């Protein structure tokens, strides 16, 4: 008990010293996922032979590494088992992040190809159009899917400002305990615009166009 009390007093004293001196506590530098992936991109762009050779070795040994069991009869890991477990986790992380970078590069190449090809074919909006690259010899195709645009939205505050007193005609009102909720009725707004087309110019800025979708790169059988 006396030992614990002394340790606590020591820790408390050190914290006070740190506070007084303003000396920062030493911390191990940390890297984010984005930073590590940026490093892999740089490795590929610059063809860093040493780092790529290290990755190649890690990937060739990966199956052997992850098949090493760290569990035996007990549930408390030994220091050697802990080392193996963390090594497995680090190998999985590095390979997974590298493969994400590879996917980005594949996607960039496919997108560039499809944009050019669709433009040559006269497609109106090639950069936001689905497409595919077929390789019959492999029986597979790379597909760009999910392209297009998100639904447009309405800036309702701006809409109310532009409509003035007319905004109440295009909102439904619901009174619930201690609160009144107004909900835009798109059909009501459409009817109002049909009855008075001059309002279109007033509210056009309140219509926020749909943004382009990111799309997905999918590998599929032909």
Interior/surface letters 139-175, b for 16+ CB within 10 angstroms, e for the rest:
eeebbbeebeeeeeeeeeeebbebbeeebeebbeeee
Q: How confident is the model at residue 23 (pLDDT cuts 50, 70, 90)?
A: very low
Cα 158 to chain centroid, rounded: 30
pLDDT of residue 26: 47
Q: How far apart are CA 131 and CA 117, in angstroms?
A: 9
In terms of pTM, does the model score above 0.75? no
Q: How confident is the model at residue 221 (pLDDT cuts 50, 70, 90)?
A: very high
Q: Among 114, 95, 122, 83, which residue's Cα sits nearest to residue 37?
A: 95
Q: How far apart are CA 132 and CA 115, in angstroms?
A: 11
Helix axis angle, 33-45 relative to 79-120, nearest 10°?
A: 60
User: Over the chain, what is the mean pLDDT?
Assistant: 83
In three-state secondary structure terms, 165 is helix
pLDDT of residue 10: 55
Evaluate whether 210 touches 151 at the Cβ level (below 8 Å).
yes
Q: How far apart are CA 201 and CA 19, in angstroms?
A: 61
Tens of pLDDT, residue by residue over 140-184, are 999 999 999 988 888 999 999 989 999 988 888 888 877 888 888
Sequence-ordered list of residues with C-beta below 8 angstroms from that of 77, at least 6 positions apart, any chain? 70, 85
Decide if pLDDT at 199 tops 50.
yes
Q: How far apart are CA 171 and CA 127, in angstroms?
A: 37
pLDDT of residue 8: 64
pLDDT of residue 220: 95
Burial of 131 (C-beta count, 10 Å sphere; 0-12/13-18/19+): buried
Mean pLDDT value of segment 77-92: 88
pLDDT of residue 39: 86
pLDDT of residue 15: 53
């Amino acid at each position: 008990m006396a030992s614990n009390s002394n340790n606590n007093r020591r820790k408390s004293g050190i914290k006070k010293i740190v506070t007084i001196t303003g000396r920062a506590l030493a911390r191990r530098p940390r890297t984010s996922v984005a930073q590590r992936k940026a490093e892999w991109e740089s490795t590929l762009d610059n063809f860093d032979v040493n780092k790529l050779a290290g990755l190649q070795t890690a990937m060739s040994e990966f199956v052997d590494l992850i098949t090493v069991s760290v569990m035996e009869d007990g549930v408390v890991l030994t220091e050697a088992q802990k080392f193996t477990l963390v090594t497995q986790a680090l190998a999985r992380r590095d390979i997974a992040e590298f493969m994400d970078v590879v996917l980005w590069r594949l996607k960039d190449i496919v997108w560039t190809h499809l944009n050019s090809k669709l433009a040559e074919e006269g497609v109106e909006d090639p950069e936001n159009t689905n497409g595919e690259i077929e390789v019959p010899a492999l029986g597979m195709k790379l597909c760009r899917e999910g392209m297009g645009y998100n639904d447009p939205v309405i800036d309702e505050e701006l809409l109310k400002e532009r409509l003035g007193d007319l905004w109440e005609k295009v909102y439904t009102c619901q009174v619930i305990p201690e609160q009144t909720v107004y909900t835009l009725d798109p059909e009501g707004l459409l009817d109002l615009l049909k009855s008075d087309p001059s309002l279109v110019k007033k509210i056009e800025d309140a219509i926020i166009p749909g943004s382009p979708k990111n799309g997905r790169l999918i590998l599929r059988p032909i």
